[in-house]
Chains A and B, each alone.
Chain A
Amino acid sequence: MIDFHTHTPAWRTSSWLGGATFDAADFLAFMDGAGIERAVVLSHDGLFNPSPRANDELAAFVAADPDRLVGFGTVSPRHEDAPREAARMMDELGLRGMKLHPWLQGFSLQERTLDPICEVLVERGGTLLCHDGTPPYSTPAQIAALARRHPGLPVVLGHGGLHDCWREALEACRQTPNLYLCICGTPPYAARHIVQHGPADRILFGTDAGLSDQAEQHYAVARVAEIDGWGISADQRRAMLVDNPRRLLEGAAR
């Protein structure tokens, strides 16, 4: 299976969660234990301080096993160097896409400063994953509007709308061909409904691993195990965990 939403440790920033220190070997051991073959890894420090250094350190983390760890970097969209950094992280660091977190990073998806950044990703076959599910700046419809401005860019709703916007996430995906939905922190009843009624080839799954205060990432392991209780078919499960993310990553930059 492919986990489309995980994080490095926060090495240089703090949040209210305790977190844990772990290295790539620890993370690969967690993946082995949870049955995760590959993972999209997002910077943790970059959520709070989207700097080139955060991308450098993410790249070093995923370099431990590039066949299994796929890095998505980040930028500060209003920064004048953001398009240049987007190009650098793809061309020089070997990252495969970008993660944006509008409410942590403080911008609206309708700000046109995002457009040249998205164009860099499109030119390199990258993917954009965006935090979603929380107003005011991270609703699925807002992200879908950005996706429609860049129809050649695969855009992933990083949390499938969470608890309150999952119906909006589902409808936005139906109406936006380049929009993908990653079930990650989405409640189980919503996950089941999304899998059963959403676009079958654009549903992904993520654990959000990396935020635990234990290197073993217990909650992420539990989230994988919980899929057994969702009530979805084996074919739906395989599409979400294997076929869809593989297809998306194979189309992404290398």
Chain B
Amino acid sequence: MIIDAHVRVGRSREAALSVPDLLATMDRLSVDVACAAPDEAAIAYDNRRGNELTTGAAAASGGRVVAYAVANPWRGREAITELEWARDAGARALAVDSVLQGFDLLDGLVDPLLGFAADQRWPVYVRTGTPPNALPLTLALLAHRFPEVTFIMGRSGATDFWIDAAEALRSAPNLLGDTSYAPWDTLLSELGSDPAITPSRLVFATDQPYTVAASEVRRIRDWPIADHERDLVLGGTLRALVGL
């Protein structure tokens, strides 16, 4: 089973992905399941629209879409209520973007949401790569505070914080990297050959609509690793985390 760990559906600032287009691309690239967060505005402020979009897509997809829930941490108790709504509608993971949502990963605002995710046994996707408040090692510090939560380090610090992503993965065993944007013959080979990381801690993600999805798949196909390792990257590691 091939699982795409992260896409965003809806219309963002300069890119868009409709659910039918997502499903068509999945068919073309033989991707079985995609974990979908909503568009940028829905992550930043219009959380209910976003949760309706992703959970609605998941409900109509026959199991091919897994919904991320979103809630801006600045909403306080309302954010938890929003996550409860998303859970009841079928969401199975939490997506966080500290840049779009305007907070510091370590300021405590997101902690109640992570506590909720821990209670639900949800993995938490956190986009990284943007200084100063969305960085791999900052996320590792957060991951240390929530050892019961599995965090997906979205974009693995692309691009100039890739080196920090390696150290973040070494330091936080509950952290997974994602493969989007990462060449196999530079970054993935370095991460994969590190005995403290290995391919088992890297999950395939296309990060549509920001990428060329076929290139993201091709990169993982071309990466010269053992078949069982590739199976882990392409979905084996993530499968149980999202209840598949």
Contacts and interface: CB of A to CB of B under 8 A. Distances in A.
B210 A188 contact: yes
Contacts of A185: 159
A190 interface: yes
Interface in A92-117: 103
A2 to B, nearest CB: 21
A234 interface: no
Given A164-B130, A189-B211, A18 B189 contact: yes
B190 A189 contact: no
B14 A218 contact: no
B159 A212 contact: no
A163 B222 CA distance: 24
Interface in A125-180: 133-135, 159, 162-164
B183 A193 contact: no
Given A189-B211, A214-B185, A219-B184, A134 B14 contact: no
A222 interface: yes
A117 to B, nearest CB: 24
B222 A218 contact: yes
A120 B189 CA distance: 41
For chain B, give the interface size range: 20 to 34
Contacts of B1: none
Contacts of B141: none
A133 B181 contact: no
Contact of A162 (B159, B219, B222): B159
A188 B163 CA distance: 22
Interface string A174-213: 0000000000010111101100000000000000000111
Contacts of B213: 229
Interface in B128-169: 129-131, 155, 158-160, 163, 166
Contacts of B158: 163
B185 A219 contact: yes
Interface string A9-39: 0000000111000000000000000000000
Contacts, number: 75
Nearest to B212: A229
Contact of A213 (B14, B186, B212, B218): B186
Given A17-B190, A162-B159, A189 B183 contact: no
Contacts of B241: none
Interface of A, secondary structure class, is loop
A187 B210 contact: yes
B214 interface: yes
Contacts of B214: 229
A187 B211 contact: yes
A119 B214 CA distance: 45
Contacts of B189: 18, 213
B186 to A, nearest CB: 5
Instruction: From A16, A134, A188, name the one whose CB has the most chain B CB atoms within 10 angstroms.
Output: A188
Contacts of B18: none
A103 B211 CA distance: 27
Contacts of B186: 17, 211-213, 219
B209 A189 contact: yes
Contact of B183 (A103, A222, A229): A222
8 contacts: A16-B190, A17-B186, A163-B130, A187-B181, A187-B210, A189-B209, A192-B14, A218-B185
Interface of A: 16-18, 103, 133-135, 159, 162-164, 185, 187-190, 192-193, 211-214, 217-219, 222, 225-226, 229-230
The 6 closest A-B pairs by CB, nearest first: A219-B183, A229-B212, A189-B15, A212-B185, A189-B210, A134-B160
